[in-house]
Amino acid sequence: MGKFIMPSLGSQMIEAKLIQWHVKPGDTVKKGDIIGEIDTEKGLIDIEVFEDGVISKLVAKEGEVIPVGSVMAVINGEGKTEKVTAKPAETPKESAKNVPGNGKQKVASKKQVAKSKEVPLHRIKASPLARRVTEDLGVDISKVKSSGKTGTIHRKDVEAYVQQQTADETFEKELDMAEHISKAEGKSMRQSIAAAMSQSNKEIPHYYLEIEIDMKAALDWLSNENQNRSVQERLLPPMMLIKAVANALTEVPQLNGFWTDETMHIEEGIHVGFAIALRQGGLVIPAILNADLKSLDEIRGDFVNMVSRAREGHLRSREISSATITITSLGERGAEKVYGVIYPPQVALIGLGKITDRPRAVDGSIGIRPTLSVVLAGDHRATDGHTGSRFLEKLNNQLQHPESL
Amino acid sequence: MTQVAKQTMTYRQAIREAMREAMLKDDRVFLMGEDVGRYGGCFNVSEGMLEEFGNERIIDTPLSESGFTGCGIGAAVTGMRPIIEIMTINFSLLAADQIINTAAILQYMSGGQFTVPIVIRMATGGGKQLAAQHSRSLEGWYAHIPGLKILTPATIEDARGMLWPALEDPDPVLIFENSTLYNSEGPLSGNGQVVDIEKAKIHREGADVTILTYGIGLQKSLKAAEELANQGIEAEVIDLRVLRPLDNETIFTSVTKTGRAAIVDEGWKSGGISAEISARITEELFYDLDDPVERICGMEVPAPYARHLEQASLPQPEQIVETIKKMGGLHG
């Protein structure tokens, strides 16, 4: 519901007399309609409404002197703005027309009417410093979000916005680059996979180690944790496994890195790649960067985000080129064990099978336990089975203590 | 025994030493006030000085603030360097006419023929359960008057060092000693003698918020700053030292850096020195402010007698911490 107020038609104007309404309650008005006539020091002036709607009430009476800013009418409308403005009668011809009860002539000159200033209804609360900084940096303050409870924008918020923008730009550039690279290579994904896997099989002397991990503790913890979470925030086993692998690698870093120039290069950052099968065939391996440093929730966020972007073909080049180790999981598809092929120049690949209930010796008797088969493929040039075995042991430890992940 | 360069002394001793030094240096200096001689001063500040300097230079007066302050002004005009002790700021109201209507404007009204090089010392502040008539912090009032210089020593160093430059100043200087500070003890840093009586002093540096305070507020603010630092907020603590003329430069430089100011003053907000400082910051630094200026001041009530009520009516470190934590844009 809008209020039609007496407009200010110049800094000197403090009031004006309403001469005549051109509308009555119930009338439908459109933005731009002349709805009445007022008498100011500058002469008679037509007042124009800047809102669509229906006149619900005429507050001001004809002949009444009304101060600037006072409500003259109430308009029920779909329009959200309360802006009003006035325009002088258009032509001298019109102004010659007699107005009942008033001998004065209408004034036509536009110069005599100050432009009514548009006042945005939604005022942005920002500190003076924040406003100055947005001006200095050329930032549109309406795009900046407050991080505080009061909704006030502070300098920090502007700086965070600028930082985010820069990051977004970098992201866009990387996207472009990724697209560019894949186009330039001119190869189909099938051909790329073929090349990498052939090279791997030709050059890498694989060794395979296998462990069966009791997943009861991990799955119990997970379902307990998920009870308090919304569907979108639920943790899934792969997220937990990525985190467990990353943590185990901090203890056995020899498997994290690249074999190049006939030497093993252990990488400091643990970027866990995970193979995602695409519906149209083929697969991509985005990496969760610095997975060891991220919390389970951060990994969840990255995972969800990457899977959906991978399926849309929107991964960043950094994400698909920097994995230091790869996890391949065919569990969903039914395979119980996965003997993978290492993605060169990485030196290890972890194959995760399907978690299935299997009989298992538990505390001296046989119990049915959810069991995960993990097969480590290692590059025998870079590491020996002993290292790989230690890694599997650490991984198992991680999964027996899910609360500390 | 050789003199130790760095000594520890109480605030009370520091003021006594400053007065002794001045009297030894310049025989125009004398001390006059109620109970300053035989009784050794209401707060024991001048204890032993009657014996040392005799009753011509340590003068006990009747209960007549207007009278002995007027005598001091006359003595100053005619060449002496009087130190007038008014027992507490509450009684200075009886001498307000002499201070405001005579001392502050005599140079102007005499067309520059006379200056009034008087120093008037008095205890100020609450916190000692002395009830409504004896617990006021009215120094902000005196800071309202052109022609006066207002000093508020908050440290041992300033208690020791402000008197001599005040005596050398050709204009009337009022020194406000917070009565809860007299027993405070600390090392005498600096050269142990003279300090400037123009500049505010940064006691702790910080990038997030500027705490502006003076007198007893300094210790409370430093304590609050420490707690804030534990919570990741770095407060810069400034001791104003001089309430008139205010050291705009130090205040503005700091607030420009931090974008936030909180003023801690035991005095009342309405028409107080905190209002003046806040107004100056807003006038000069509006576009540098990331938050409205905050004030942590004495409650606008007569000082309560009951201890818990009195403490509740005065600004406390916890309150400073809470107020600053609520300022926007500080976290994250």
Q: What tens digit of pLDDT does each residue of A97-150 get?
A: 444 444 444 444 444 444 444 445 467 889 999 999 998 888 888 888 888 888
Average pLDDT over every residue of B8-28: 95
Is residue A79 over pLDDT 70?
no
Q: What is the DSSP string of B9-63?
A: EEHHHHHHHHHHHHHHH-TTEEEEETTSSTT--TTSTTTTHHHHH-TTTEEE--S
| Choice among A183-192, A373-382, B24-33, B147-156 with the minimum mean pLDDT | A183-192
Is residue A275 over pLDDT 60?
yes
User: Which pLDDT does position A84 carry in this prediction?
Assistant: 44
How many angstroms separate the first and last alpha carbons of chain A? 55
Interchain contact B290–A (C-beta under 8 A): yes
Catalytic (active-site) positions of B? 65, 134
Paired strand residues for A378: A207, A348
User: Which pLDDT does position A31 carry in this prediction?
Assistant: 79
Q: What is the DSSP string of B174-205?
A: EEEEEGGGTT-EEE--TTSS---SS--EEEE-
| Choice among A65-74, B277-286, B289-298 with the minimum mean pLDDT | A65-74
Residues 156-175 of A with CB under 8 A from B: 156-157
Hey, which of A115-124, A156-165, B239-248 has the most confident mean pLDDT? B239-248
Is residue B156 over pLDDT 80?
yes
B291 vs A127, A131, A147: nearest CB: A127
Q: Please answer yes or no on whether B290 and A132 come within 8 Å at the CB atom.
A: no
Q: Please answer yes or no on whether B328 and A130 come within 8 Å at the CB atom.
A: no
User: Which pLDDT does position A350 carry in this prediction?
Assistant: 93
Average pLDDT over every residue of B99-107: 97
Query: Which stretches of A216-293 are DSSP H helices?
Result: 216-227, 237-251
Chain B residues closer than 8 Å to A156 by CB: 290, 329-330, 332
Interchain contact A155–B (C-beta under 8 A): yes
Interchain contact A129–B (C-beta under 8 A): yes
User: Which pLDDT does position A199 carry in this prediction?
Assistant: 87
Question: Which of B32 and A110 is assigned the larger pLDDT?
Answer: B32
Q: Please answer yes or no on whether A129 and B332 come within 8 Å at the CB atom.
A: no
Q: Classify domain B201-325 at the CATH topology level.
A: Rossmann fold (3.40.50)
Tokens coding A329? 């999981």
Domain boundaries, chain B: 6-189, 201-325
Distances (CA, A) of A160 to A157, A163, A165, A294: 5, 5, 9, 21
Mean pLDDT estimate for chain A:
79
DSSP element (H, E) containing B253: helix B248-258
Q: Please answer yes or no on whether A152 and B329 come within 8 Å at the CB atom.
A: yes
Interchain contact B259–A (C-beta under 8 A): yes
- d(C-alpha A204, C-alpha A380), whole Å: 7
Q: Please answer yes or no on whether A128 and B286 come within 8 Å at the CB atom.
A: yes
Which chain B residue's Cα is nearest to A127? B290
Domain boundaries, chain A: 2-189, 204-404
| Choice among A70-79, A314-323, B133-142 with the minimum mean pLDDT | A314-323
Q: What is the DSSP string of A277-328?
A: E-TTS-EE--EETTTTTS-HHHHHHHHHHHHHHHHHT---HHHHH--SEEEE
Per-residue three-class SS string for B270-304: CCCHHHHHHHHHHHHHHHHCCCCCEEEEECCCCCC
Q: Kindly provide the ipTM of the predicted complex, given to two decimals.
A: 0.80
Is residue B188 over pLDDT 50?
yes
User: Which pLDDT does position A89 carry in this prediction?
Assistant: 41
Residues 145-204 of B with CB under 8 A from A: none
Q: Please answer yes or no on whether A128 and B288 come within 8 Å at the CB atom.
A: yes
B329 vs A128, A131, A157: nearest CB: A157
User: Which pLDDT does position A188 carry in this prediction?
Assistant: 65
User: Which pLDDT does position A183 carry in this prediction?
Assistant: 53
Is residue A326 over pLDDT 70?
yes
User: Which pLDDT does position A80 carry in this prediction?
Assistant: 42
Q: Classify domain A204-404 at the CATH topology level.
A: Chloramphenicol Acetyltransferase (3.30.559)
User: Which pLDDT does position A174 carry in this prediction?
Assistant: 60
Interchain contact B332–A (C-beta under 8 A): yes
- The SS3 of residue B2 is coil
User: Which pLDDT does position A104 carry in this prediction?
Assistant: 44
Q: What percent of chain A has pLDDT over 90?
A: 22
User: Which pLDDT does position A115 carry in this prediction?
Assistant: 42
Beta strands in B77-156 (DSSP E): 81-88, 119-124, 149-151
Average pLDDT over every residue of B103-108: 97
Mean pLDDT estimate for chain B:
95
User: Which pLDDT does position A2 carry in this prediction?
Assistant: 75
DSSP element (H, E) containing B211: strand B209-213
Chain A residues closer than 8 Å to B290 by CB: 127-130, 154-156
Among 3.40.50.1580, 3.40.50.300, 3.30.360.10, 2.40.50.100, name the CATH number for the domain at A2-189: 2.40.50.100
Backbone phi, psi, residue B261, to 5°: -135, 140
A137, A162 contact by CB (below 8 A): yes
Q: What tens digit of pLDDT does each residue of A25-38 get?
A: 888 888 778 888 88
Chain A residues closer than 8 Å to B328 by CB: 127, 148, 150, 152, 154
Is residue B19 over pLDDT 90?
yes
Q: Which of B79, B72, B76, B19 has its CA nearest to residue B50?
A: B19
User: Which pLDDT does position B332 carry in this prediction?
Assistant: 47
Identity of the residue numbered B301 = V
The angle, 0 to 180 degrees and rounded to 10, between the axes of the packed helices A237-251 and A216-227 is: 120
Question: Which of A95 and B56 is assigned the larger pLDDT?
Answer: B56
User: Which pLDDT does position A180 carry in this prediction?
Assistant: 53
Q: Which of A57, A81, A85, A77 has its CA nearest to residue A1?
A: A77
Is residue A315 over pLDDT 80?
no
Give Cβ neighbours of residue A293 (< 8 Å, ≥ 6 apart). Answer: none
User: Which pLDDT does position A24 carry in this prediction?
Assistant: 87
Q: What tens digit of pLDDT does each residue of B38-61 get?
A: 999 999 999 999 999 999 999 999
A204-404 has the same fold as A2-189: no
A275, A189 contact by CB (below 8 A): no
Q: Classify domain B6-189 at the CATH topology level.
A: Rossmann fold (3.40.50)
